Amino acid sequence: MSTDRITYLWMKHFQGDISAAEKAELSDWLNESASNREAFNLLHDKAFITSQVDDLKVINERKGFVEQGIKQRIADLATESSSLHRSFVVSIFRWASAIGVAAILGFVFYYVFKSPAEQPAIVQTTDSIGPLAGTNKAVLVMADGRRLVLDSAAGKAIPLKQGEASLDVAEGVLAYKRPAGVLANEMQELQTPAGGQYRLVLSDGTVIWLNAGSSVSYPTYFTGSTRSIGVKGEVYIEVARDASKPFIVEVPDGGKIEVLGTKFAINCYDNEPVQKTTLVEGSIRIQADLNKKIITHTLHPGQQSINNHSTLSVIKEANVEEATAFARGFFYFSNADARAVARQLERWYNIKAEFKGAIPPVTFSGKMERSLSLKDALEILKFGNMEFVLNGNKISM
C-alpha cells in the first residue's frame, strides 16, 4: 500500500469519518505486520511524536502557514473535533526511522486546537479587534496639483484634459483609455498610503499593482520612442508588449529598468536596506548609478537583482513567490528578522513598531493572508516564536 493511501486512511480514521470499506482496508494493512500496528499505536502517542520531531511544517488552512518554532506546541494540541475549532495540519518528516517503518514517512497528522475560550491570550491588545487589514485606497495627484481620493471618489470616470480614465472603487482599479488620436498629454501620480493598495492600468495596457506606501508617476498616454514611468515603494508590473517602444522604469537613486514586454516585481522602499528587482517572465536590463559609475545587469526569469547602494548583484534562483506575494494577497516571509517583519506590518496596517532593548535573534518563515486583522497576524507570528505586543496602533518587542 502506498504512503499516500496509508496517510489518507489514517486521517479518515483520526477524523472519525472513515467508511466501512476504508476501515476494512486499514485493518488489512494493520494485520500485515507487527511493525505496522506499532506504528499505528505510536501515531496516537503525543509524547513520542513530540520527542521525535526535528522538522515540522504547520499549515493553518484559514490563515496561512508557519514553518518553524512549533515543536513544543504539539503537546498542547487537542484531538476533540468542533466546528468552532481552528484546523491545523502537522507534517512529521523525520520519525519513521525511529520505528523502523519507512513506508510511514510522510504521514500527515490532522489536529484541532481547543476553542479560543480555552486558550490563553496570545497578544495583549486594547480592544477586541485591533487594527484591521489594509484596503483598496489611493490618491491620484493630477497635473495641476489637485488630489483626488479614490476610495471616496464620486462616479465611475475621471475627466482628463483629453479623454478620461475609468475608476472601479470596489475593486481598486484605475484604468486609462488609449486616446483616439494625438492629444495633449499630462503627467499624473498614483499614491497608496500606509494601509492601502491599488491597481493601475496604463493607456498601453500595462498593469501595475501598488503595495502600501508606494507611488507611480506616469503620463496619461505614451508619446515618443519609449514608455517611461517612475516608481517608489513596492510594485508588481505586467508590461504590455510593444517592441517599438521599450518600457523604462525609473527607481530612486538614479536606477533604471528597461523592458520590452515582461512581468517583474520591484521593492525600493526608502526604509529597506536594499532595492530588489525580481523577474517573473521575459527579460529586463537593470541599470544602477553606484559611486558615479553606471552598472548594468540583464535578468532572466527567476532571477533577482540586489542593489545595496554600493554594489549590484544577481541571485540566479530567487524566491519569485516571495517577491510577488503582495500582489496575490499574501505576506511571505523567508527567514525574516523582527525588524523586517515589522516594516511590512507597519506599511499594511498603518501602525508603528517600537523595539526596546536587545531584539531576540529569532527569524520567521511563512505565508499569511493580508486580509487578516493585525491581531490574527500577530497570533500567527507568536505561533512561530516571534512575539509582538499590541497596544492601540503600536506594536512593540
Three-state helix/strand/coil letters over 57-82: EEEECCCEEECCCCHHHHHHCECCCC
pLDDT of residue 313: 94
Q: How many residues does the chain have?
A: 397
User: Is the model's pLDDT at 304 over the cut of 90?
Assistant: yes
Which CATH number goes with the domain that contains 207?
2.60.120.1440
User: Is the model's pLDDT at 84 over the cut of 60?
Assistant: no
Do 165 and 299 lie in one domain? The reply is: yes
Residues with Cβ within 8 Å of residue 106, at least 6 apart in sequence: 3, 4, 7, 91, 93
pLDDT of residue 136: 92
Residues 383, 67: contact at Cβ < 8 Å? no
Do 189 and 309 lie in one domain? The reply is: yes
Residue 127 counted as domain residue? no
Do 147 and 222 lie in one domain? The reply is: yes
- Domain-ending residue, one of 268, 295, 323: 323
End-to-end CA distance of the chain: 50
Q: How far is CA 142 from the centre of its chain?
A: 31
Higher-confidence position of 94 and 243: 243
User: Is the model's pLDDT at 178 over the cut of 50?
Assistant: yes
Do 170 and 292 lie in one domain? The reply is: yes
Residue 123 counted as domain residue? no
- Domain-ending residue, one of 118, 146, 163: 118
pLDDT of residue 115: 31
pLDDT of residue 157: 62
Residue 339 counted as domain residue? yes
User: Is the model's pLDDT at 117 over the cut of 80?
Assistant: no
User: Is the model's pLDDT at 341 over the cut of 90?
Assistant: yes
Q: What is the pLDDT of residues 188-198, one digit of tens each?
A: 999 999 999 99
pTM of the model: 0.69
pLDDT of residue 31: 80
Which CATH number goes with the domain that contains 383?
3.55.50.30
Residue 124 counted as domain residue? no
Residues with Cβ within 8 Å of residue 315, at least 6 apart in sequence: 303, 304, 305, 306
Do 143 and 199 lie in one domain? The reply is: yes
Mean pLDDT of 118-140: 63
Do 197 and 345 lie in one domain? The reply is: no
Q: How far is CA 96 from the centre of its chain?
A: 33
For the chain, the average pLDDT equals 76
Split into its structural domains, the chain has a count of 3
Residue 370 counted as domain residue? yes
Element (H, E) at 97: helix 96-99
Residues with Cβ within 8 Å of residue 176, at least 6 apart in sequence: 165, 201, 202, 203, 220, 221
- Domain-ending residue, one of 66, 92, 118: 118
User: Is the model's pLDDT at 101 over the cut of 80?
Assistant: no
Do 387 and 282 lie in one domain? The reply is: no
Residue 239 counted as domain residue? yes
Mean pLDDT of 321-349: 94
pLDDT of residue 2: 63
98 CB-contact burial (10 Å; exposed 0-12 / middle 13-18 / buried 19+): exposed
Do 183 and 296 lie in one domain? The reply is: yes
User: Is the model's pLDDT at 128 over the cut of 90?
Assistant: no
Task: Say which DSSP state 113 is in.
Answer: P
Do 186 and 314 lie in one domain? The reply is: yes
Residue 194 counted as domain residue? yes
pLDDT of residue 46: 53
Do 51 and 24 lie in one domain? The reply is: yes
Do 155 and 288 lie in one domain? The reply is: yes
Higher-confidence position of 385 and 271: 271
| Residue among 77, 14, 69, 11 nearest 46 (CA) | 77
pLDDT of residue 380: 82
Q: How far is CA 256 from the centre of its chain?
A: 25
Residues with Cβ within 8 Å of residue 90, at least 6 apart in sequence: 56, 57, 58, 70, 74, 77, 108, 109, 110, 111
User: Is the model's pLDDT at 16 over the cut of 60?
Assistant: yes
| Residue among 49, 150, 139, 46 nearest 94 (CA) | 49
Residue 22 counted as domain residue? yes
Mean pLDDT of 131-146: 90
User: Is the model's pLDDT at 112 over the cut of 80?
Assistant: no
Do 309 and 268 lie in one domain? The reply is: yes
Judging by DSSP bridges, how do beta strands 157-159 and 207-210 pair with one another? unpaired
Q: What is the pLDDT of residues 30-62, one digit of tens each?
A: 888 776 776 677 666 555 454 444 333 333 433
Q: What is the pLDDT of residues 210-269, one digit of tens each?
A: 999 999 999 988 888 999 999 999 999 999 999 899 999 999 988 999 997 899 999 999
Q: How far is CA 180 from CA 164, 215, 221, 242, 250, in A?
A: 11, 27, 11, 18, 27
pLDDT of residue 301: 95
Q: Which domain holds residue 380?
A: 328-396
Model confidence at 161, in pLDDT bands (50, 70, 90)? low
